[in-house]
Amino acid sequence: MGPMTTVTGMITSFDDWPVHQSHLPVAHTATGDPNHYDRYFFNGYDETGGTFFALAMGLYPNRHVMDASFSVIRGDEQVNVHASARAHVDRMRCTVVGPISIEILEPLVSHRITVEAPEQGLRAELTMTASSQPFEEPVFEQRLGVRETMRYTRLTQLGRWSGWIEVDGVREDIQPERVTGSRDRSWGVRGVGERVSIGAPVVSAPQFFWLWAPVCFDGFGTMFDINEYADGERWHHSGALLTGRSPATPAWSVDYDIEWAAGTRHMQSFELRYRFKDETVSLAFQPIKHFQMFGLGYMHPEWTHGAWKGESSVGGDRFRLPVPDPMALHHIHVQTLSRVTCTRPAGVSTGTGILETLVLGAHEPSGFTGLADGAA
């Protein structure tokens, strides 16, 4: 009779907290899917577009990778720093990637971002303080054939920023009365990193339609998202009114009209309508500028999310805005900073927010038929 065999996990510091959702130590995901991820996103902006910055940080435990990017628009240039490393098994040490770090000062209330990347021309110390409660969006679920390709949860929250940013040695002070923004946290399974072959291929034309719109007004905010199939059928949508520290008020229904700029898949005008129990709210978006999500690694040919770049790697890039080739695949995904007019029964308010758009493949209501054809 041989020695007794036991199967053990990997105990880390986070296991000392009462956070477990299964018999597994926290270092182990509930599924072995290589596309399991855990992500932070932040952005900040003023009402003129003179200030715009954003950060994305992701952990991909089953790929043993973590990465982060920080991006700033200064004048007509977008400046970016990217970092990637082997993921630490201790989740308490997974909010620092190279020169970029996130500190949770008070959960769901206050977060600090630090960037120390002078070789890429970027330094920053920024604190976001929440101006709303987080809104938990409905779970995102999607299958390709019988294979589950997406199942994740996300929260969205609004806030104000303080601190400073340096671009090429020139410092800008960030004041909370001037700079607002949003953040999200998402975790679960969705397509990340290098493709992994799993059995027979499922024949399907690439298609993804996504709109996301957090907006800050004086004393309140709104949130909206939608996913649609090629024929316009919705498979995910949500909306909410966010008022101070009160719980979010989910919308009963949401609807929208969008006009695309000719030759692109970037928004030219956007109208959003919410119906709540006690009121109907409409929003009209006037675009200011398009922030390229490419600067945060989204669809980046070199710094794409979840890719193995070695034990520790840091790099950067910068480009002029607007980009000369907006229909290049890595340029389609944008956040359009917008001046927003909100009409409610109580009156009219103006605020600032973004409409994030990622539209790949066909979408009949928009007149798109190919992978990346522009609007007529």
Task: Examine residue 8 and state whether it is found in any structural domain, yes or no.
Answer: no
- Does residue 242 carry a pLDDT above 60? yes
Tell me how far apart the alpha carbons of residues 261 and 309 are, in angstroms, rounded to a whole number: 36
Is residue 7 assigned to a domain?
Answer: no
What was the pLDDT predicted at 2? 53
CATH classification at residue 229: 2.40.370.10
Cα distances (Å, whole numbers) of residue 313 to 40, 68, 219, 260, 310: 19, 11, 42, 37, 6
| 22 part of a folded domain | no
How is residue 270 written in tokens? Answer: 């956007």
For 367: left if phi > 0, alpha if psi spans -120 to 50, otherwise beta; the answer is left
> Six-digit token pair at 190?
């969705």
Tens of pLDDT, residues 282-300: 999 999 999 999 999 999 9
User: Between these two residues, 147 and 42, which has the higher pLDDT value?
Assistant: 42
Q: Do residues 100 and 315 touch, judged by C-beta distance below 8 A?
A: no
CA separation (Å) from 353 to 195, 196, 222?
Answer: 33, 36, 9
Both tokens of residue 160? 């104000």
What global pTM score does this model have?
A: 0.94
> Positive or negative CA dihedral for 86, 91, 95, 96?
negative
Residue 86 is assigned to a structural domain of this protein: yes
- Residue 26, in any domain of the structure: no
In a domain, 198, yes or no: no
Backbone angles phi, psi at 134, to 5 degrees: -70, 145
Identify the domain containing residue 81 by its residue range: 35-139+147-190+204-366
Residue 310 corresponds to which tokens in the numbers above? 């070695």
CA distances from 326 to 78, 289, 301 (A): 14, 13, 15
On whether residue 102 sits in a domain, the answer given is yes
CA distance 160 to 183: 10
Give the CA angle between residues 55, 58, 63 to the nearest 5°. 155
Q: Is residue 259 part of a domain?
A: yes
- Per-residue pLDDT, 187: 92
Q: In whole angstroms, give the CA distance from residue 263 to residue 327.
A: 8
* Average confidence score pLDDT of the chain: 93
Structural domain total, the chain: 1
Counting residues of the chain whose pLDDT is more than 90, the rounded percentage is 81
| C-beta of residue 38 within 8 angstroms of C-beta of residue 46 | no
For residue range 298-353, list pLDDT tens digits in order.
999 999 999 999 999 999 999 999 999 999 999 999 999 999 999 999 999 999 99
| 49 or 201, which is more confident | 49
Nearest Cα neighbor of 41 from 111, 107, 142, 90 is 111
CA 27 to chain centre: 24
Task: Output DSSP code: residue 15.
Answer: G
Question: Where is pLDDT greater, at 12 or 268?
Answer: 268
Instruction: Kindly indicate the confidence band of residue 4, based on its pLDDT and cuts at 50, 70 and 90.
Output: low
Maximum average pLDDT range among 15-29, 197-211, 221-235: 221-235
Whether 247 contacts 133, CB under 8 Å: yes
Closest CA to 288 of 208, 368, 215, 182: 215
Burial class (CB in 10 A: 0-12, 13-18, 19+), 145: exposed
